[in-house]
Amino acid sequence: MSEMGDDEDRRDPIEELRAADPAAGIEPREGFADEVVARVAAETAGAASPVAEPEATDAAASARPPIADLGAERTRRRPRWIPVAAVAASLAVVGAVGYGVGAATGQPANLADAAAPPISLQGQAGAGALEGSLVEPGAVDQRMAGPGAADLSYPYGFGRNAFHADGLSTTAGTAAAYAFDAPAASDPGTIAALAAALGVAGEPVLADGAWTVGPQDGTAPTLWVSLDGTMSFSYSDPGLDPWMCEEGADVCEPSGDIPSEDAAIDALRDLLASAGRDPGAYEFSSETWEGAVTRTASAWPVVDGQRIDTGWSVEVTDDGLYSAYGALAELVPLGDYPVVSEQEAFERLSDPRFGAQMTIMPFAVREQASDEVAEWVPPTDPPAVPSAGTPLSWPVNDVDIVEARLGLASQWQPDGSVLVVPAFEFTDSDGGAWSVVAVADERLDFSMG
């Protein structure tokens, strides 16, 4: 569904959260990302079982990786590139919840792994997933720049993809959908309860498209809640800001001890409970980064066995809760929606109406890019004139799908409301993941406005 009706002047909550991130400019030390990926690759290499490869039937098929039979693959162990690719993807900065796990020091003991990861329909790779990623510019643009992703195209050219798969189910069905109930959360009592849970003094004030509680001049704890589709909120206590420097100070370095993982997660559990949420309905993780004096904790709501991509996050110091972010609106059921089969969803990968998005970058692509990157040498002459009959360069990536998963993804509507709807995620043989909406055509509004 087109989002042509979005108001360009509307405040973007994601951008505001990124702007509020005190460590937005911090980069991990050189070589840190390589060490993390290498460690995980080594840990998983011994436990993985190889994937059977069918024989090529002709010369063209032998030129690319064999297509996996998904019916057979479902009975086998997942190949080792899935956890490796998941770690590689997690090394990107996640602006919506503070800091990504890529800057974490050590293994978070409370990292949740029982629920399936979120599926995205928002084109993450074009909206920030490349920030801090492991992939060199231009290395994956050919794959990622599908229909509707021209913003991903570096000078190396636009991407064209030919998708292949075998053994996909042709059975359609139904699946539950949900929505964030923003109007119910836009209530003075609800805002006041959250402010009280955070220790913010004052009465809720509605102005300029947001609820606010507390002074807005940086002198005391403050709460801000946007009138968007999830009622996203942000809280900060400037008195606990470890990056706050005294005016005129020549040297300004944060100080203090890093809180424990349990302390950060307990603070988030307490906040959820105080706000009327059931912490048992969330999965938690805790991270920090090299040189930090704070620790973050994240809580992801789990619906139908899958994490939803809109969660809560806190940052704590050894003196208490410094900041918090989240979605105040709760999910409400919308009933079942008709969904297409795996085969029909796979065909949508090549349908420009659905703008297939690569939402996880393959680990192997980064290895290839690092091997092939050469120092640029300035030219001394222009390119030679093409001869008559010169073929046009028209590179096409062969993408072999080896796994399909039906899950849930957030969909922002033109009016700002947010649905959580069935979506398919397809994993390719390189560890990349591609997503498309799973809702059948009869429940999609293809109109432009």
State the average pLDDT for the chain.
74
pLDDT at 121: 86
Look up the pTM and report it.
0.67
Both tokens of 121, joined, read 């329909």
Structure confidence by residue, pLDDT tens digits, 52-107: 443 444 444 444 444 445 554 444 433 333 333 333 333 332 323 322 332 333 33
The better pLDDT of the pair 448, 40 is held by 448
The label of the residue with tokens 């309860």 reads: 193
Structure confidence by residue, pLDDT tens digits, 321-350: 999 999 999 999 999 999 999 999 999 999
Bridge-partner residues for 406, per DSSP? 424
* Region of poorest pLDDT, from 24-38, 111-125, 144-158, 310-324: 144-158
The label of the residue with tokens 């911090």 reads: 26
C-alpha 329/C-alpha 209 separation (Å) is: 16
Q: How many other C-beta atoms are found inside a 10 Å radius of the C-beta of residue 229?
A: 23
Q: What are phi and psi of 128, to 5 degrees?
A: 125, -10
The better pLDDT of the pair 125, 177 is held by 177
The label of the residue with tokens 């809280």 reads: 235
Buried-exposed string 270-282: b where 16+ CB fall within 10 A, e elsewhere? ebbeebebeeeeb
- Highest-pLDDT range among 28-37, 81-90, 136-145, 440-449: 440-449
pLDDT at 104: 34
| 416 φψ region: left (φ > 0), alpha (ψ -120 to 50), beta (else) | left
pLDDT at 367: 57
pLDDT at 413: 94
pLDDT at 52: 40
The label of the residue with tokens 């990536």 reads: 397
Give the pLDDT mean for 14-31: 51
C-alpha 64/C-alpha 429 separation (Å) is: 11
Bridge-partner residues for 314, per DSSP? 297, 324
